[in-house]
A and B are shown apart, each in its own frame.
Chain A
Amino acid sequence: MILTLAVIFPLSSAFVIPLLHLYGSRGLRLFLPIMGLGAFVLTLAAAASGFGDYALAFFGGWPARLGVVFVADGLSSVFLALAAFGCGASFLYFYEQMGTGPWRFYVIFFLLQASMNGVLLTGDLFNMFVFYEIFSLAAYLLVSYSLTWQAVEAGLKYLVMGTVGAFFILLGAAYAFIATKTLNMAALAASFPQMPKATLIVIAACMVVGFSLKAGAFPFHFWLPDAHSSAITAVSALLSGVVVKVSIYSLIRVSLLFFGDALPSVFDVITVLGVLSLLGGHLMASRQQDIKRLLAYSTVAQIGYIMIGVGMGTATGIAAAVFHSFNHMLMKSGLFITAGRLAEEIKTRNIQDMKGLYYHRRGMVLAFTVLAAAIVGVPPLNGFMSKWYLVVASVEKRSFLAALALVFGTVISASYYIRVLSVFYTPGEGFSEHESRRPVLAIAALFSACCVVLGLLPFFTPIWELFVEVGSKALNTKDYIAAVLLK
């Protein structure tokens, strides 16, 4: 029940908002915070219900083979929690800044949240495609929401690339359906190992190309820097923090469930894509003068880190990838909110024009510094912990090239983040003397505090063992199949 509600509640919120708007803004002011809070709590509840054991919801009472089923297991729980926190933070930020005025934004926002929860929960390949397209459409709309020419162009570019990716996923799903006559993911996983290799390769190629296009991995990354840098601040944080993570989740889910036993060479391809996007993203980021573009290219690189973890295909690798996804959500959402807010206040995104910002906006720049240090991987912050585990995973798998790339990428990222920070801390003049408003500072401080806490937590609590358990559970496809099909 709770699984269904996690999708239904935001979806009906998106439907109700225009109706409330018809009856004046009072209802909207009253109900909008409730909707945001409700979506947050329900998503977290769905995450909690699936964390220990498999939680299932059958639509219309049909068994999994005949109907659509929602499955929450450890992997989807972690990503649901990630989505809840990322969406919540960006909702808070936007609500603080704009209030209830731009009600259309909230319609798209709740549509996005509902469909993301849908992708994370569904156990049916075609259903996943449908939710995927709803959330992509909402994301295109959010990118071009401000209707400036950059936003419109970036949205169009994102739309074309994203739709091409979607049709590749659809093609893969069609092949899988032709081969097995089913679209339930557990049933597909059960019948894939008996299939001829050529069929598997075609399906895997379609899926990997589709999901990489959607996630913005290196050879397919063209749209990502434009989309993430042209959108308004709250949307940039949401896109970089949560939306790409949902694509990563689908990649992990599909590659483990379908090709984990049947076609292990998929993981090598994912590793290569990861290494490419890591190096490419960092190299492109180091050449940027626009702070939001720099952060967007850094996202490409961080997707590379996560994909390397996925490509290891071991419990440690998956655990490190999931841990890094969570950390990246915190770091990059925080960075986009702080940097975006600073850029809005001083009305430029050029890094060179931000000289001496520290002496005028102490709180925001300090938060930015902590977050940048975390994403570079300064111990003992959370970025260091997850990168450490990623390196450990790739050394365990004896792919030293990937480990080298991880370390080398960190060096490049240190160079460009230090460039930004040195500009911030060089004395300079010419900014109006007013500190950002309290709530924004609080959100930024919360993000940086989370980064510190998550960095220290693995020393005191067995949080890493929790992630390893999630990873090994995600690898254990037999349990998944049994849990879904036999109930």
Chain B
Amino acid sequence: MIKISYATAIFVFCIGLYTILSKRNLFKTVIGLTIMESGALMLIVTAGYVHGGVPPLIPMEGQAVNPLPHAFTLTAIVIGASDVALALALVIKVHRRYKTVDLDKIRGLKE
């Protein structure tokens, strides 16, 4: 059960990485970033999973799930959102100059 969730998280992470590496469209690059982020976050969330666990609230019956990963995830989501917001702002700036978001047509800076 938990093995599948790990594999899914890493699979999602790899999809994001592949998107960034292969696509020449700047918007798809940004989408790839968010997918990568989701993959990493999924992995953190599954870390808190306890089979048959209950919410970690005070009148507790049975074993509680680990609440820590959710706090991490919330923090990381905020960070990811600000990254993506800045990325999109910069993409808009690039688009204003070149009227395109295709990386092959944007050859401003030499390699």
Q: Which residues of A contact B (CB under 8 A)?
A: 126, 129-130, 133, 137, 140-141, 144, 147, 149-150, 152-157, 159-160, 163-164, 166-167, 170-171, 174-175, 177-178, 181, 183, 222, 226, 230
Contacts and interface: CB of A to CB of B under 8 A. Distances in A.
Interface of B: 13, 16-17, 20, 26, 29-30, 33, 36-37, 39-40, 43-44, 46-47, 66, 69, 72, 75-76, 79, 82-83, 86-87, 90-91, 93-94, 97, 106, 108-109, 111
Most buried by B among A144, A174, A175, A226: A174
A387 to B, nearest CB: 29
- Top-6 shortest CB links A-B: A156-B90, A178-B47, A133-B79, A174-B43, A152-B93, A170-B40
B47 A163 contact: no
Contact of B47 (A130, A137, A155, A177): A177
B20 A153 contact: no
A156 B26 contact: yes
B86 A159 contact: yes
14 contacts: A130-B75, A133-B79, A140-B86, A149-B94, A150-B109, A153-B94, A153-B106, A159-B87, A160-B20, A167-B16, A170-B40, A171-B13, A222-B111, A226-B109
| B13, B17, B87, B109: most-surrounded residue (chain A CB, <10 A) | B109
Main secondary structure of the interface of B (DSSP, over half): helix
A167 B69 CA distance: 16
Contacts of B94: 149, 152-153, 156
A291 to B, nearest CB: 15
Contacts of A164: 17, 20, 33, 36
Given A152-B90, A155-B90, A177-B44, A167 B37 contact: yes
A150 to B, nearest CB: 6
Contacts of A159: 83, 86-87, 90
